Amino acid sequence: MEIPFDVANIPGPEMGEVVSPEVIGSYISNAERPLLVVGSEILRDDFFIKIAIEIGKKGIPIAATGHSIRGFVGTEYADNVMYYNLHDLTNCLRDPNWAGLDGKGNYDFVIFFGILYYYASQMLSCIKNFATDPLIRAVSIDRYYHPNARMSFTNITPRREEEYRDMLKRLVKSIRGRQK
Amino acid sequence: MDEIKKGNLFSIAGLENVRISIGEIVEEEKEWEPMGPHPMPRIATLRDWDFKLLNRYKPFYAPVCDMCCLCTYGKCDLTGNKKGACGIRMDAQQGRIVLLACLVGCSAHCGHGRHLLHDMIKKFGRDVPIDFGPEVDIEAPLTRLVCGIKPKTIGDYDKVFSYIEEQIVQLADALHTGQEGSYMDFESKALHMGMLDSLNKEAADIIQIACYGMPTSLPGGGPDVPLVDVGIGTIDTNKPVIIVIGHNVPPAADIGVYLTENELDDKVELGGICCTSIDTTRVYKKAKIASALGRQLRVIRAGIADVIVIDEQCIRADILELCQKVHSPLIATNDKAMHGLVDRTDDDPDKIVDDLVSGRVPGVVILEPDQVGEVAVRTALQMDKKRRSLKFILSDDEFKYYVNDCILCGGCTLACPAGLHIGEANQSAATGSIKPLADLFDLCVGCGRCEQVCKKHIPIVDVITKAAYPQLKEEKGRMRIGRGPIWDSEIREVGAPLVLGTIPGIIAPIGCGNYPNGTKDAWLIVKEFAERNYIVTLTGCMAIDCALWKDEEGKTLYEQHHGGFGGGGVLNIGSCVSNAHIHDAAIKVASIFAGRNLRGNYEEIADYILTRVGACGVAWGAMSQKAASIASGFNRLGVPAVVGPHSAKYRRAFLGRADLKEDWKLIDATDGSEVYVEPGPQHLLVACETVEEALPMMAKLCFRPSDTDRGRSGKLTHYIDLNLKYLNTYPPDWHLFVRTASDIPIATRNALLKKLEDEHGWEIDWKMKKIKEGPIRGYDPSFNPTNLERLIRGKK
Ligand code: SF4
Ligand code: SF4
Ligand code: SF4
């Protein structure tokens, strides 16, 4: 069994699958309304902001939680990113009637990226348990194994940072672009 | 009365108690205020109010565990909001667990308060008057509000605790399998528990203030309370050192008395950890605060204590083992935490001291607070000599050995609740730079989980402490001692500015030290709001932790800011139980400033506070079950709270939906008309990921529908400014809080009107500098907002 990043964080019978970047990429490509949710950990290096923007440019809207919005201000992509509190956002996601960031309705596929592990884990738990009809799939592309996500990467230690960055690049590559 | 006629035995038993006490109250209390509608409310009495809150701030659940194992039908898998064998759904099960947490928290405060009352009655008698001096007429706002009682002596608290205890039992009953099945009702019960908890805290603090003469409104109290030393570096280890840990002050107070009576107060150090230390400084002038909860393990491991005295709550469960390792005898003074030690109450002190000093026993239980002082002090004096040559901080060679021994397996990181990258820091120390390791000291919450999994048996906590030792020795702060109640005269002064919004709000940092990013966040929160003229009222660990940091001139925030309940004040209210005085301040605004009756009138006052008093709690490191019940108590009274990211693990939040217009309908009490208002406060309980996000969120949760235009423009200034400062951008929802042009700060009015026109499509009359179309509602200075139909004075 995969070890959760916070080792005792074993929620129950339904634990997320560890998958490759390409698998997540293909799910994102096939989703009707995907949403990228980023957190403050993406501020640790510009590389992660760039990855988020590249995903955004494939036509996937970005909700910036925590203080991650700072990373987008001043970039050419600033206008396409919206601040949301993560609790508030997850609360909206669990409501099938929520209008979404663009007023066109809720999402069916949510990607968590750069969010503090334990906060992210709880919000993934909410989505798993309560955003079930219609189903929202939530996945993580962080360097942690997230059992509450439907799909997740494995734990990646700082020593394997380059490998992780490669995985993110592979992910971006594997996402099919869409009309915004 | 109806329920008696129905012949329901269970209800009769419950009701009899209530009738008796109400009878007494009515008899005794004719003189002060007419009785309101809800004295000593039972589980369902304030349910309508709760449902009003819960319909706007819908319970949000994030399970920590998808299963339930509370009965032998289980385990049940509730994933995906499935039902268990008993029929309970995941959402109700989460409400149930929340109620359980609040039950534990509330019971801790109630048990503590009751224990204190027993001890104080035994020592001082029932008739100790509750008189807090000329500036505090409303001595017990929550007691008046919830119970309809105006307590005159500590003996009056007997009936208050009887009421709370009965309610706790009824609420605990609801947790049983086959009882409550609605998450809304579980939450209403959790709010009820929270309210009882706030009452507990007030009772406990009032009893200890009255009996020990803690600061109130007498000279040297209130804003003028003295400063004390805080920080591990302030403990003089050249003297014998006694460390007290916990929340119940009588044993520590007895140590202070013994030291004073035996003229040892300059010869022995009395320091503390957590709330007992705060309360000890309120009764013994020479006491010091070694640290808040987060440093407990490390203070003990550092071996500075020649004896450790524990009372109750927030003590490490492995305290005895830790004490034994550093040869610090342990004295347990409370029957709730005896750690397997032998009860030596009433035994000959000579024998107890001899047993402890000789090491024949690692510790003892002494349940009479008045017997603790002598044993603790005499033991410390002798242990100091024995322990002087012992060293518990790692030597340079040991440190080097350990950091080199690390194999970078990452096991510690997976075990660490903060996910700290310890291995990498070890590696860096091994190759010359100890800074990354030293930097972990403040980020570490001192739990010790990492050490248990390290395959190389590296004592990680000690390694980090060693790396940080030079800065640790310099950890020397200053803080005001706990001042207790806010004065009525202070409320009179700030009542109008608070309600009208010219003081932008009250920020209340409270609670434990499970911070996401170290103690400095506590300092930043206080600094940011005090400098913006908010009133900052602190209790518990945050009150301690913010005092560890200083400005360039070497001053702490307590030294920089006044201690009065006014704009820019930084007030240490006291220990966790003292935070009832923060509720009390809000209640007193309603009473003193608005002339509302308090007696048995909880719902109306909570409605007043929710719509008018711009107060926001922040429990940035909330950890305990007490914190869960404390937050629920604030929430039921209409005070929102921001919590740190770990608090997402409490499972439940109360989140409002700014996008749902119907959720924000209020009544104008003047004529009964319905008014759609802006979402203020938007949430009752919300977690933020980082302090940078939390600061603007706190400012946002100070908006109230009653704000005047001047007040609103002040609040809006800070909301926008904090967003620009910490998030580098305008908040996406600032426009929701604009009702009229004069709500916008003059300095930026033109620019913001332009933004409203360009970005939000509002129609602006540029000649008149007025808003023609756009806001949710216009500004009506006579608007008298309420959620309660019964408060409507006349029909339109
Ligand atoms: S209490 Fe209900 S959900 Fe829990 S184990 Fe028993 S049957 Fe299952
Ligand atoms: S003691 Fe500190 S470093 Fe170790 S697991 Fe706990 S928080 Fe992490
Ligand atoms: S568990 Fe021990 S050996 Fe492994 S990285 Fe942590 S300190 Fe090093």
pLDDT at B219: 83
Kindly tell me if the per-residue pLDDT of B6 is higher than 50: no
A9, A84, A85: best to mutate for the B interface, most B CBs within 10 A: A85
Ligand 1 pocket test target in B65, B75, B76, B83 with most atoms within 8 Å of CB: B76
Q: Which two tokens stand for residue A69?
A: 């919005």
Instruction: Please report the residues numbered 413 through 452 in chain B whose beta carbons come closer than 8 angstroms to any beta carbon of chain A.
Output: 413-415, 417, 419, 421, 423-424
- Tell me if B669 sits within 8 A of B793, measured CB to CB: yes
How many angstroms separate the first and last alpha carbons of chain B? 36
**Predicted confidence (pLDDT) per residue in A5-41, tens digit:** 999 999 999 999 999 999 999 999 999 999 999 999 9
- d(CA B280, CA B274) in angstroms, rounded, equals 10
Indicate if ipTM > 0.95. Answer: yes
**What average pLDDT does this structure show over B139-160?**
97
Ligand nearest to the CA of B86: 1
Q: With CB atoms and an 8 Å threshold, state whether B729 touches A69.
A: yes
Kindly tell me if the per-residue pLDDT of B24 is higher than 70: no
**What average pLDDT does this structure show over B184-210?**
98
Is residue B752 one of the residues assigned to a domain? yes
**What average pLDDT does this structure show over B629-649?**
98
* Pair B238, B362 in one domain: yes
Is residue B39 one of the residues assigned to a domain? no
* Pair B358, B434 in one domain: no
List, in order, residues 6 or more apart from A82 with CB less than 8 Å away. A61, A62, A63, A64, A101, B732
Q: With CB atoms and an 8 Å threshold, state whether B687 touches A73.
A: no
Is residue B103 one of the residues assigned to a domain? no
Q: With CB atoms and an 8 Å threshold, state whether B66 touches A90.
A: no
- B249 half-sphere exposure, CB direction, 13 A CA radius: 30
* Pair B529, B564 in one domain: yes
**Predicted confidence (pLDDT) per residue in B686-729, tens digit:** 999 999 999 999 999 999 999 999 999 999 999 999 999 999 99
Kindly tell me if the per-residue pLDDT of A72 is higher than 60: yes
Last residue of a domain, one of B341, B359, B387: B387
Is residue B689 one of the residues assigned to a domain? yes
Last residue of a domain, one of B345, B366, B387: B387
**What average pLDDT does this structure show over A130-155?**
97
Q: Whose CA is nearest to atom 2 of ligand 3?
A: B454
- Tell me if B57 sits within 8 A of B654, measured CB to CB: yes
Q: DSSP strand E in B550-628: where?
A: 570-574, 615-619
* Pair B567, B593 in one domain: yes
Q: Which domains does chain A have, with CATH numbers?
A: 17-174 (3.40.50.1220)
Last residue of a domain, one of B336, B356, B387: B387
Other C-beta atoms within 10 Å of B340: how many? 9
pTM exceeding the 0.90 threshold for the entire prediction = yes
**Predicted confidence (pLDDT) per residue in B216-272, tens digit:** 988 889 999 999 999 999 999 999 999 999 999 999 999 999 999 999 999 999 999
How many angstroms separate the first and last alpha carbons of chain A? 39
Q: What are phi and psi of B249, to 5 degrees?
A: -80, -20
DSSP 3-state of B458: coil
Residue B21's pLDDT band (cuts 50, 70, 90): very low
Kindly state the DSSP code that residue A174 receives in the 8-state scheme: H
Other C-beta atoms within 10 Å of A54: how many? 17
**What average pLDDT does this structure show over B463-475?**
94
Nearest to B646 among A85, A118, A126 (CB): A118
**Predicted confidence (pLDDT) per residue in B38-67, tens digit:** 999 999 999 999 999 999 999 999 999 999
Is residue B524 one of the residues assigned to a domain? yes
What are the Cα distances from residue A77, in Å, to A74, A82, A117, B420, B624?
8, 11, 26, 32, 42
pLDDT at B796: 61
Nearest to B80 among A85, A119, A132 (CB): A132
What's the mean pLDDT when you consider all of chain A?
Answer: 96
**Chain A nearest CA to B518, separation (Å):** 15
**Predicted confidence (pLDDT) per residue in B483-523, tens digit:** 999 999 999 999 888 777 679 999 999 989 999 999 999 99
Long-range contacts of A19-23 (CB under 8 A, 24+ apart): A19/A151, A19/A152, A19/A153, A20/A167, A20/A170, A21/A141, A21/A153, A21/A167, A21/A168, A21/A170, A21/A171, A21/A174, A22/A170, A22/A171, A22/A174, A23/A151
pLDDT at B92: 98
Q: To 5 degrees, how large is the angle CA B158–CA B162–CA B166?
A: 175
Q: With CB atoms and an 8 Å threshold, state whether B414 touches A5.
A: yes
Is A104 an 8 Å CB contact of chain B?
no
Residue B4's pLDDT band (cuts 50, 70, 90): very low
CA B635 to ligand 1 centroid distance, Å? 29
Is residue B320 one of the residues assigned to a domain? yes
Helix (H) or strand (E) holding B652: strand B652-655
Residue A94's pLDDT band (cuts 50, 70, 90): very high
* Pair B283, B411 in one domain: no
* Pair B514, B597 in one domain: yes
Is residue B464 one of the residues assigned to a domain? no
What's the mean pLDDT when you consider all of chain B?
Answer: 94
**What average pLDDT does this structure show over B135-159?**
97
pLDDT at B16: 39
Ligand 2 pocket test target in B296, B421, B426, B461 with most atoms within 8 Å of CB: B461
Minimal-distance CA residue of chain B relative to A99: B659
* Pair B448, B572 in one domain: no
- Residue B436 C-alpha from the chain's centroid: 31
pLDDT at B644: 98
- d(CA B349, CA B351) in angstroms, rounded, equals 5
* Pair B548, B616 in one domain: yes
Is residue B714 one of the residues assigned to a domain? yes
DSSP 3-state of A152: strand
Could you tell me the CATH number of the domain that includes residue B350?
Answer: 3.40.50.2030
Ligand nearest to the CA of B445: 2
pLDDT at B7: 33
Kindly tell me if the per-residue pLDDT of B2 is higher than 70: no
Is B60 an 8 Å CB contact of chain A?
yes
* Pair B247, B314 in one domain: yes
* Pair B448, B547 in one domain: no
**Predicted confidence (pLDDT) per residue in B603-619, tens digit:** 999 999 999 999 999 99
For B504, the domain range is: 479-773
* Pair B604, B668 in one domain: yes
- d(CA B210, CA B132) in angstroms, rounded, equals 8
Percentage of chain B exceeding pLDDT 90: 93
List, in order, residues 6 or more apart from B790 with CB less than 8 Å away. none
Nearest to B682 by CA among B719, B649, B648: B719
Ligand 3 pocket test target in B458, B461, B466 with most atoms within 8 Å of CB: B458
**Predicted confidence (pLDDT) per residue in B368-383, tens digit:** 999 999 999 999 999 9
Q: With CB atoms and an 8 Å threshold, state whether B732 touches A125.
A: no
pLDDT at B29: 54
Residue A180's pLDDT band (cuts 50, 70, 90): low
Q: What are phi and psi of B227, to 5 degrees?
A: -95, 150
Tell me, letter by letter, the H, E, C secondary structure of B371-434: HHHHHHHHHHHHHHHHHCCCCCCCCHHHHHHHHHHCCCCCHHHHHCCCCCCHHHHHHHHHCCCC
Which residue matches tokens 């409490």? B650
* Pair B582, B623 in one domain: yes
Kindly tell me if the per-residue pLDDT of B329 is higher than 50: yes
Is B109 an 8 Å CB contact of chain A?
no
Q: With CB atoms and an 8 Å threshold, state whether A14 touches B690.
A: no
The number of distinct structural domains making up chain B is 3
